[in-house]
């Protein structure tokens, strides 16, 4: 039975998605190996590097359905890599033409290019999920553009904001990740075909022709130089996932905190039994948020591992490459799960605007002490105004006096601002700044 959460029948679809798992499972991986080997034969046949009839036979005879995975596993454990065992099986499938399979290639050529094909498919899934999630957030930002709530710093109420403003900040992060994804794909979706030491010496003068033809056949780009031991592309892909899941983790952390009993401002979608406790019937735990946070922490570890794997020796690494085999697929699987959980959580987010307003009012106006200070500053000077309002805040808190009364009782304040002006200054709705306009800027063009 599966022994990790990503393959577990119990936990698997909580931490990842079937679609992403399908891209990285063993069968799909071997299919990509075969795809590269067949594409190589086709290109070499067309260029006359191998007989055209052999290339046609290789394309016709290479069949994933005929692969003996048990035998491939056994031989791979001896060889240390899966390509030679695969070539042996494909050679038997293709008969006389089998002698031309893997012509001029090395194991890493096939494995790296197959990984690039996996990443291209995985990027497509991430891009789709990211677009859907951004659309969800745009809808929330637009709907709650002017919905007031307490902004918090250091876990204390700070100044009024709007919920739409908070969501717009989340959305702007994901907009930047969409831009990053579009920028990095051309750097990663590059063919790797360079031979044993990266010089294509086995193909004589035809090496670059074959490399360029293979790139065209697979719809990848051509590298300016061999990247067998230059692993920045794959590392960048996982660093991107670290950034993306980190941002999703920040969103989840906010939602989780706002779901707490004392806040009660937003809630994950209601599904009967979801988030239930085995002993406490009243509980409604932030299940999606917990998975999103866990994914962010795990992807960060894989991102670190990919940075370690960049440090390779000479023209063929003696071990760091193997780190990628584990870290890269797992990072994509976890990122897919985080995106799926985020789409579910935010797509059905329950927003309690009335509770947000009640929380905004619990300090009796203290949350806008800065507004009073700025209102007094032209009269008293900024520093004096700060100290005067600070004194009024202490009176209000120590004596449980409404803030407006503490302000009005201070002759330094009353002599500078009338009661009506003070009432306007202590109304949180009058001090959200340009938060709604920032929402508009983020939503512009959508």
Query: What is d(CA 81, CA 102) in angstroms, rounded to the nearest whole number?
Result: 15
8, 76, 228, 277: the active-site residue: 277
Phi–psi pair at 250, nearest 5 degrees? -65, -45
Distance, first Cα to last Cα, the chain: 47
Tell me the two tokens of residue 116.
Answer: 């690039």
Active site residue 277: yes
Q: Which long-range contacts (CB under 8 A, 24 or more apart) does 42-48 make?
A: 42/217, 43/210, 43/213, 43/214, 43/216, 43/217, 44/100, 44/103, 44/104, 44/210, 44/213, 46/213, 47/206, 47/209, 47/210, 47/213
Tell me the two tokens of residue 132.
Answer: 């859907």
CB 241 within 8 A of CB 327: no
154, 202, 228, 288: the active-site residue: 154
3-state secondary structure 297-354: HHHHHHHHHHHHHCCCCCCCCCCHHHHHHHHHHHHHHHHHHHHHHHHHHHHCCEECHH
Residue among 264, 324, 330, 272 at smallest CA distance from 299: 330
Tell me the two tokens of residue 334.
Answer: 């976890």
Catalytic residues: 154, 277
């Amino acid at each position: 039975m599966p022994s990790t959460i990503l393959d577990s029948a119990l936990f698997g679809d909580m931490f990842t998605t079937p679609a992403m798992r399908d891209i990285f499972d063993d069968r799909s991986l071997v299919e990509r190996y075969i795809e590269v080997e067949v594409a190589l034969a086709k290109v070499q046949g067309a260029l006359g590097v191998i007989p055209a009839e052999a290339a046609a036979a290789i394309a016709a005879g290479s069949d994933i359905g005929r692969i003996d995975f048990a035998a491939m596993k056994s031989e791979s454990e001896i060889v240390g890599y899966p390509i030679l065992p695969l070539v042996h099986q494909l050679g038997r499938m293709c008969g006389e033409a089998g002698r031309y399979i893997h012509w001029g290639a090395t194991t890493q050529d096939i494995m790296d290019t197959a990984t690039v094909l996996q990443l291209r498919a995985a990027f497509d899934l991430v891009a789709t999920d990211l677009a859907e999630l951004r659309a969800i957030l745009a809808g929330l930002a637009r709907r709650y553009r002017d919905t007031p709530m307490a902004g918090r710093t250091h876990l204390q109420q700070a100044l009024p904001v709007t919920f739409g403003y908070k969501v717009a900040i989340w959305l702007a992060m994901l907009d930047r990740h969409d831009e990053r994804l579009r920028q990095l794909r051309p750097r990663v979706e590059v063919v790797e075909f360079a031979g044993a030491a990266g010089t294509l010496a086995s193909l004589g003068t035809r090496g670059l022709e074959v490399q360029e033809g293979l790139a065209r056949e697979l719809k990848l780009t051509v590298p300016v130089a061999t990247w067998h031991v230059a692993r920045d592309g794959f590392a960048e892909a996982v660093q991107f996932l670290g950034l993306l899941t980190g941002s999703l983790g920040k969103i989840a952390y906010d939602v989780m905190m706002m779901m707490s009993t004392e806040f009660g401002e937003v809630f994950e979608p209601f599904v009967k039994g979801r988030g239930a406790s085995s002993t406490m019937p009243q509980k409604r735990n932030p299940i999606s948020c917990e998975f999103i946070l866990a994914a962010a922490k795990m992807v960060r570890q894989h991102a670190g591992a990919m940075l370690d794997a960049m440090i390779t020796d000479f023209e063929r690494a003696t071990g760091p490459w193997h780190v990628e085999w584990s870290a890269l697929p797992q990072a994509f699987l976890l990122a897919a799960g985080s995106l799926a959980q985020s789409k579910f959580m935010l797509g059905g987010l329950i927003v309690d605007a009335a509770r947000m307003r009640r929380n905004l009012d619990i300090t009796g106006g203290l949350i806008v002490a800065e507004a009073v200070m700025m209102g007094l500053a032209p009269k008293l000077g900024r520093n004096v105004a700060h100290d005067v309002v600070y004194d009024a805040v202490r009176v209000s808190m120590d004596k449980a006096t409404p803030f407006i009364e503490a302000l009005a009782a201070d002759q330094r304040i009353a002599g500078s601002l009338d009661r009506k002006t003070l009432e306007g200054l202590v109304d949180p709705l009058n001090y959200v700044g340009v938060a709604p306009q920032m929402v508009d800027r983020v939503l512009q063009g959508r």
